[in-house]
């Protein structure tokens, strides 16, 4: 598989690293295009891949073209690549909010996969949700699944509207988690724990609880009920969260992210 990356940012680098680590492509089969020369030099030295400042040059002869740029840079890339892709090339876009319809019209190309990975993909623990146009072949779907799966878990959906929903959950979700960790650590410090001890307690509790949900086969609500003894410390804490409207706030936050994702896509 020969792959071109348009954009060499953190997520693009995560994909390159995962692809090479899993043996999906050899370094000489990967080309990265970016406007930042220092960034290209770093990627070339670290991974042994080809680099260029020309997007048209990068896509030449490639099986897969990964669009890993910021949304504000999309119009420029479309003007450079529109009508220049071969019909048998797969475009894999991880651009936030960029709808397939807009990509297809601008690039004058049918074979498009749109994906929403999240930041843990940078350490191989990501969650990517993706969909594809009818023009994408089974072989190309296999390529897309393998690339995204190399960064963690991947989930194919047949309805593009699910990607905006995924953006609000798995895409933005790490930030919600980081805020929860930050808040728990700060609370632990305020009741007297040293910060290093507080952070270790919080992180392992979060990690262990997530794995417990996965392995127990039980619903989170049932596990919560089991760990909450009537009149105990957990019950007292949960009562305060309920009084503060914790669940409603989470709903409002997710809805706000979802609405924003839809607006970004026009």
Section 100-109 average pLDDT: 94
Gap between the Cα atoms of 63 and 161, Å rounded: 27
Nearby residues of 146 by Cβ (< 8 Å), 6 or more positions away: 22, 24
Gap between the Cα atoms of 201 and 187, Å rounded: 12
Task: Quote the mean pLDDT of the chain.
Answer: 93
CA angle 237, 242, 245 (to 5 degrees): 130
The answer on pLDDT for 135 being more than 80 is yes
By the 8 A CB rule, do 77 and 69 touch? yes
Q: What pTM, to 2 d.p., does this model score?
A: 0.87
| Of the options 3.30.1540.20, 3.30.700.30, 3.40.50.720, 3.40.50.150, the CATH number for the domain spanning 3-159 | 3.40.50.720
Class level of CATH domain 173-264: mainly alpha
Gap between the Cα atoms of 62 and 2, Å rounded: 5
Q: Where are the beta strands (DSSP E) in 57-175?
A: 64-67, 90-93, 112-116, 126-132, 152-156
At residue 154 the predicted structure's pLDDT band, cuts being 50, 70 and 90, is: very high
Residue 200's beta-bridge partner residues?
A: none
The answer on pLDDT for 145 being more than 90 is yes
30 by Cβ neighbours in 10 Å (0-12 / 13-18 / 19+) ranks as buried
At residue 229 the predicted structure's pLDDT band, cuts being 50, 70 and 90, is: very high
Q: Quick one: angle between helices 233-243 and 246-264, nearest 10?
A: 50
In the chain, ranges of CATH 3.40.50.720 domains: 3-159
Q: Which of 188, 157, 171, 180 is nearest to 265 (CA)?
A: 171
pLDDT digits (tens, 9 = 90+) for 61-85: 999 999 998 888 889 999 999 999 9
In the chain, ranges of CATH 1.10.3730.10 domains: 173-264
């Amino acid at each position: 598989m020969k792959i071109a990356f348009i954009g060499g940012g953190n997520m693009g680098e995560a994909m390159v690293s995962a692809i090479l680590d899993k043996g999906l492509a050899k370094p000489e089969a990967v080309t990265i295009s970016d406007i930042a020369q220092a960034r290209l030099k770093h990627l070339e030295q670290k991974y042994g891949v080809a680099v260029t400042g020309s997007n048209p040059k990068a896509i030449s002869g490639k099986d897969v073209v990964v669009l890993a740029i910021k949304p504000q840079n999309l119009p420029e890339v479309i003007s450079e690549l529109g009508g220049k892709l071969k019909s048998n090339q797969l475009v894999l876009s991880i651009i936030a909010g960029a709808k397939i319809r807009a990509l297809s019209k601008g690039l004058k190309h049918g074979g498009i996969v749109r994906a929403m990975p999240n930041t843990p993909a940078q350490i191989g623990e990501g969650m990517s949700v993706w969909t594809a146009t009818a023009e994408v072949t089974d072989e190309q779907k296999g390529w897309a699944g393998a690339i995204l799966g190399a960064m963690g878990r991947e989930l194919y959906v047949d309805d593009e509207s699910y990607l905006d929903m995924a953006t609000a959950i798995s895409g933005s979700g790490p930030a919600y988690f980081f805020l929860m960790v930050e808040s728990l650590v700060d609370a632990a410090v305020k009741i007297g724990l040293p910060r290093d001890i507080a952070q270790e307690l919080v992180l392992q509790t979060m990690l262990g609880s997530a794995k417990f949900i996965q392995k127990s086969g039980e619903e989170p609500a049932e596990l919560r009920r089991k760990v909450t003894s009537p009149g105990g410390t957990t019950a007292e804490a949960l009562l305060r969260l309920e009084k503060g409207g914790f669940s409603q706030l989470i709903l409002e936050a997710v809805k706000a992210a979802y609405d924003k994702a839809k607006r970004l896509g026009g």
